[in-house]
């Protein structure tokens, strides 16, 4: 039984190619969903904490009062995880700090004298506040908490808040691993909320939850559309962080056992995920399919079902004539996660040619799961083709650039006639007068 849908790029028509590229965005912009989320946002805007508590009761089945929304000091102190998980969190935070601190070294104030007497440059500063959304529902994601929080802390954001839905079926408890992450990073503003209502609370501010200028974090279509809608009220959000997706470029040298294992990593997230294998080798595709079937048998049924959807109707194997074609297809697909599993002699050429991807992992000893949890590269990455125009969440996501210029009398006199000419052409006499009076 084959697991991967099999297609041949040169035999695919324009509709089939477009269908491969299109994924994960329709649910986000469903008109009925937009309407229902808009009602929640407006309710939170008008009623604050009371609306947040009502959303928790209605959608999560958890009854809380406004004074219970904030995680208490005692909860932080009592949060514990196993030694293994604690060590893993420390390892991840170290790697994320290394990556983001190195990035900050590249994000420094700069200036240049563009002509005698005129200096221009940029001042780089952190944004004033940010709200981090950590999902909880299908599973708990402390890794999302540190993937979002470490870059914000390294960037120097002075006010960081984190919102997270309570553990399903409980009475308001937060996954202790998320609290351990926050404790290690010094984040004290943590709130238990329903997803869309929490996004609204961060964007508008409530009696308990402070308003922030930017909100980031992956979630369900409801959470994603809440972030999109909040832009209408002046809150900055990031690119779409929708259903996960991955793409692997592999040639005949790839190991089908490891290849199958790596394809299943993102595939197990859900039936809305998309996983694509681009390969030049039909023999490798056959061997990988056999191995996929074997490895799927060891997964829980819910994960196996997700994998079959991700590798079947949502993605699958696409045979290409050569690696140049694979590069072109991958750039059009613009995957969230991309792995290169080709012969050593071709690695540099392939990686150099890839320009649209949230991340590029090189070789079969760099699996997606290592990047998701430990490596230090961003794991909150653009999906649904937004890697064409966006990047993952790193320290840069929490910085802003302010242009700075300083001109002396010599330089402004030199530019005056050109400023006046353009001001006159565009019909702005006050613009021109400011230069005329300096020349009198």
- 6 Cα distance to chain centroid: 29
For range 202-222, the mean pLDDT: 94
Q: Indicate whether 27 pLDDT > 70.
A: no
> Is 158 buried (19+), middle (13-18) or exposed (0-12) by CB count in 10 A?
exposed
Q: Indicate whether 40 pLDDT > 80.
A: yes
How confident is residue 406, by pLDDT bands cut at 50, 70 and 90?
very high
Predicted confidence (pLDDT) per residue in 372-405, tens digit: 999 999 999 999 899 999 999 999 999 999 999 9
Of 207, 336, 359, 388, catalytic = 336
pLDDT at 169: 84
pLDDT at 276: 98
For residue 119, what are the β-bridge partners? 113, 406
For range 232-251, the mean pLDDT: 88
pLDDT at 359: 97
pTM for this structure? 0.92
Q: Indicate whether 418 pLDDT > 70.
A: yes
Q: Indicate whether 240 pLDDT > 80.
A: no
CA distances, 415 to each of 343, 418, 426, 440 (Å): 56, 6, 17, 15
CB 146 within 8 A of CB 185: yes
Residue 431 designated active-site: no
pLDDT at 439: 79
How confident is residue 252, by pLDDT bands cut at 50, 70 and 90?
very high
Predicted confidence (pLDDT) per residue in 111-146, tens digit: 999 999 999 999 999 999 999 999 886 567 899 999
Q: Indicate whether 230 pLDDT > 90.
A: yes
Q: Is the dihedral of CA 370, 158, 235, 225 positive or negative?
A: positive
Residue owning tokens 């949502």: 314
Q: Between β-strands 110-115 and 118-126, what pairing exists: parallel, antiparallel or unpaired?
A: antiparallel
Q: Indicate whether 25 pLDDT > 80.
A: no
pLDDT above 70 covers what percent of the chain?
97
CB 157 within 8 A of CB 127: yes
Coil vs helix vs strand at 128: coil
pLDDT at 136: 82
For range 59-81, the mean pLDDT: 95
Q: Is the dihedral of CA 144, 145, 151, 155 positive or negative?
A: positive
Residue 188 designated active-site: no
Q: Indicate whether 24 pLDDT > 70.
A: no
Q: Measured between alpha carbons, how far is 314 from 305 in angstroms, rounded to an integer? A: 12
pLDDT at 120: 97
Q: Measured between alpha carbons, how far is 108 from 348 in angstroms, rounded to an integer? A: 29
When the pLDDT of each residue in the chain is averaged and rounded to a whole number, the result is 94
Q: Find which of 22-36, 239-253, 293-307 is predicted with most confidence, using mean pLDDT.
A: 293-307
For range 74-96, the mean pLDDT: 96
pLDDT at 9: 97
Q: Indicate whether 319 pLDDT > 90.
A: yes
Q: Between β-strands 118-126 and 399-407, what pairing exists: parallel, antiparallel or unpaired?
A: antiparallel
For range 9-23, the mean pLDDT: 94
Q: Indicate whether 26 pLDDT > 90.
A: no
pLDDT at 139: 63
pLDDT at 190: 97
Of 245, 268, 337, 359, catalytic = 337
Predicted confidence (pLDDT) per residue in 167-179, tens digit: 888 889 999 999 9
How confident is residue 110, by pLDDT bands cut at 50, 70 and 90?
very high
Q: Indicate whether 246 pLDDT > 90.
A: yes
């Amino acid at each position: 039984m084959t697991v991967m849908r099999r297609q041949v790029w040169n035999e695919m028509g324009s509709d089939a190619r477009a269908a491969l590229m299109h994924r994960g965005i329709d649910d986000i912009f469903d008109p009925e969903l937009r309407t229902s989320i808009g009602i929640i946002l407006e309710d939170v805007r008008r009623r604050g904490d009371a609306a947040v508590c009502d959303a928790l009761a209605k959608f999560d089945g958890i009854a809380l009062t406004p004074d219970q929304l904030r995680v208490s000091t005692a909860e932080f102190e009592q949060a514990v995880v196993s030694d293994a998980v604690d060590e893993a969190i420390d390892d991840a935070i170290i790697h994320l700090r290394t990556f983001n601190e190195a990035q900050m070294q590249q994000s420094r104030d700069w200036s240049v004298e563009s002509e005698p007497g005129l200096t221009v440059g940029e001042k780089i500063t952190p944004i004033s506040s940010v709200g981090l959304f950590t999902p909880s529902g299908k599973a708990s994601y402390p890794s999302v908490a540190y993937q979002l929080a470490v870059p914000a802390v390294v960037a120097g954001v002075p006010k960081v808040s984190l919102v997270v839905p309570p553990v399903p079926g409980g009475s308001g408890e937060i996954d202790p691993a998320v609290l351990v992450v926050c404790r290690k990073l010094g984040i004290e503003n943590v709130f238990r909320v329903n997803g869309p209502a929490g996004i609204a609370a961060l964007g508008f501010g409530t009696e308990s939850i402070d308003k922030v200028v930017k909100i980031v974090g992956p979630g369900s279509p409801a959470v994603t559309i809440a972030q999109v809608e909040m832009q209408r009220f002046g809150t900055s959000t990031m690119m779409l962080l929708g259903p996960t997706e991955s793409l692997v470029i592999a040639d005949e040298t790839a190991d089908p056992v490891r290849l199958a294992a790596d394809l299943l990593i993102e595939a197990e997230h859900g039936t809305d995920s998309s996983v694509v294998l681009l390969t030049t080798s039909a023999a490798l595709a056959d061997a990988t399919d056999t191995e996929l079937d074997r490895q799927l048998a060891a997964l829980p049924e819910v994960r196996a079902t997700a994998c079959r959807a991700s590798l079947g109707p949502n993605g699958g194997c696409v045979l290409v004539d050569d690696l140049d074609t694979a590069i072109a297809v991958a750039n059009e697909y613009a995957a969230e996660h991309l792995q290169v599993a080709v012969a050593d002699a071709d690695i540099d050429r392939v990686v150099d040619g890839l320009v649209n991807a949230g991340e590029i992992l090189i070789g079969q000893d760099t699996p997606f799961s290592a990047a998701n949890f430990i490596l230090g590269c961003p794991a909150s990455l653009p999906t649904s083709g937004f890697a064409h125009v966006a990047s993952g969440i790193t320290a840069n996501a929490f910085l802003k650039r302010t242009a700075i210029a300083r001109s002396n009398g010599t330089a402004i006199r030199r530019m005056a006639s050109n400023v006046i000419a353009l001001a006159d052409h565009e019909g702005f006499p006050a613009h021109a007068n400011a230069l005329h009076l300096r020349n009198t």
